[in-house]
Amino acid sequence: MNKFDSVVIGAGIGGMCAAARLTAAGQNVLLVEKSPHLGGRCSHRVKGPYTVTTGAIMIPIAKKSAITEAFDLVGAPMNMIELTGRMRYRLPSGDYDLPESGRGLLGIIEFAHDGDDEGAAALFKSFLEAMNSIPGDHETFRDWLDAKSDNANVKKLFKGFCAALMGTNPHEIPAGEFFRFLTYSSRGSRFGMAEAGNGEMMGGLADAMVGRGCTIWPSTSCLGIDIDESGVTGVRLHSRDKGEVTVLCRYVLSNTGPQRTVKLVGGRKHFSAEYLEKLDAWPHAAPIFHISFVTKKPLIEGFDGCLVFGNNKNLIYLEIPSLISPQLATDGQYLHTAFGAPSDAGTADLKRELDNTLEELKLNFPGQLDDAQYLVRARHSGDAPGMHRWAGRMMPVTTSIPNLYNVGDGATTPGTIGTEGAASSAKEAVALISGTS
């Protein structure tokens, strides 16, 4: 019978980073993934001559990043093109590029105030005060902003900011979590894009892990997590190559999302009332709309950065990856990736709002999409949402079952989001397992 120290279920960025950290710590680790691909939505698919992301584009690359740390621990390369500071914001009145000199937060606040220097200075001061003394989570960021400003452009801009960078809207994010994120992200953060696609980057991490002794089984589904009165005992798997297999282990780290993890254990009866109360308090996932397409000309000439929209209901973000890394597309064609978000994740009409995202894209670039070839028009939701939980409404990495942990975008650590949040949850869980937290 197979026996490992730890089994990691799901090879998204959280699962990959957890397996890397455990492997670096000397554990005998099995990483299983139901699809043949590693990385989850931090991967890519090849569509003809185009390398198309499965979700993530901007990847944290600072030395302090939990992602960079995981790669470094196993000696994996990160072939990245730096994007730090290459941000453009759009309001109905026009566009604003972040200056290379910095002043990012003050700059976008001044842009939204459009000449009202006194109002911009007052709001910026309120932001600094909130970053130094984090508000409580009893109010949403929209509540906080409404109390500080009546400027309509400010609210439009931060709606786009929140949806693009945090995956949810201002009325869905606790004020405390917004300012924890702003504080965390303002401290030496750097971002990049994988030069040959996220799949190549995650493949390099997998190779380094295997070289250090990790076992990886793709195309392997988890049928269940076995427990007894002392905690985790093993997992039941079904592999395309091996059939049904039972694996014994001491620890299980689930990258499947907190709700799915409960099902894999056998249901709610195995969890404490306190844990279930947290699980039920904010059950909404955070869907995301993903549109990738190619055109004969770039929608924005010479634009090698990230455009955040504050002038739409659903469209929030656009990047032209092949202007940043030409190898991602064939000569003479330009690969674009856009994202949208529901205006209210709890009551989302995914089909209608995806259609509206496409319409808003056309309105922002009139006549330029007539010859577009669409490669992806997707609604990430259900078992594969933009996030398994809302920002600030995460589950802990620990569960009420000993040695069973959540990692990934349903258990991100406070102040972190997206890929960094998923990787940070892996860091936290492994620190608890290793006794170094």
Please state the rounded mean pLDDT for residues 8-28.
98
* pLDDT value at residue 103: 67
Judge whether 2-81+195-282+389-434 and 103-185 match in fold.
Answer: no
- Compute the distance between CA of residue 83 and CA of residue 351 in angstroms, rounded to an integer: 32
Q: What sign does the CA torsion over 424, 426, 431, 432 have?
A: positive
* pLDDT value at residue 189: 84
Burial group, residue 333, by CB count within 10 angstroms (0-12, 13-18, 19+): middle
Assign domain 2-81+195-282+389-434 one CATH number from 3.40.50.620, 3.50.50.60, 3.30.460.20, 3.30.300.30.
3.50.50.60
* pLDDT value at residue 283: 80
369: three-class secondary structure by DSSP? coil
Q: Per-residue b/e over 93-125, b at no fewer than 16 CB within 10 Å?
A: eeebebeeeeeebebbbbbbbeeeeebbeebbe
Give ∠ CA 288-253-418 in degrees, rounded to 5.
Answer: 25
Q: What are the tokens at 86?
A: 């290459």
The residue with greater pLDDT, 383 or 134, is 134
First to last CA, the chain: 32
* pLDDT value at residue 37: 96
Task: Measure Cα distances from 295 to 46, 78, 241 in Å.
Answer: 17, 29, 41
252: three-class secondary structure by DSSP? strand
Contact 4, 215 (CB under 8 A): yes
Please state the rounded mean pLDDT for residues 321-331.
94
Please state the rounded mean pLDDT for residues 330-355.
94
pLDDT in tens, 228-249: 999 999 999 999 888 999 999 9
Lowest mean pLDDT among 30-44, 138-152, 279-293: 279-293
For 406, other C-beta atoms within 10 Å of its C-beta total 28
Q: What residues contact residue 273 under an 8 Å CB cut-off, 6+ apart?
A: none
The one-letter amino acid code at 342 reads P
Query: Domain coordinates of the chain in residue numbers?
Result: 2-81+195-282+389-434, 103-185, 286-380
- Compute the distance between CA of residue 402 and CA of residue 435 in angstroms, rounded to an integer: 14
* pLDDT value at residue 101: 65
pLDDT in tens, 26-79: 999 999 999 999 999 999 999 999 999 999 999 999 999 999 999 999 999 999
Residue 210: its H or E element: helix 198-211
| Mean pLDDT across the chain | 94
Task: Report which of 23, 57, 18, 416 is spatially closest to residue 255, judged by C-alpha positions.
Answer: 18
pLDDT in tens, 186-209: 777 899 999 999 999 999 999 999
* pLDDT value at residue 382: 76
Q: What are the tokens at 147?
A: 């109390």
* pLDDT value at residue 346: 86
With a pLDDT cut of 90, the percent of the chain lying above it is 88
- Compute the distance between CA of residue 100 and CA of residue 283 in angstroms, rounded to an integer: 40
* pLDDT value at residue 297: 95
Please state the rounded mean pLDDT for residues 340-351.
93
* pLDDT value at residue 84: 87
Burial group, residue 200, by CB count within 10 angstroms (0-12, 13-18, 19+): middle
* pLDDT value at residue 1: 60
* pLDDT value at residue 436: 62
Q: How confident is the model at residue 429 (pLDDT cuts 50, 70, 90)?
A: very high
Please state the rounded mean pLDDT for residues 357-363.
98
Contact 246, 4 (CB under 8 A): no
Contact 329, 50 (CB under 8 A): yes
* pLDDT value at residue 102: 62
Assign domain 286-380 one CATH number from 3.90.660.50, 3.40.50.2000, 3.40.50.2300, 3.40.1440.10.
3.90.660.50
* pLDDT value at residue 156: 96
Asked whether residue 437 carries a pLDDT value surpassing 60, the answer given is no
**CATH class for the region spanning 103-185:** alpha beta
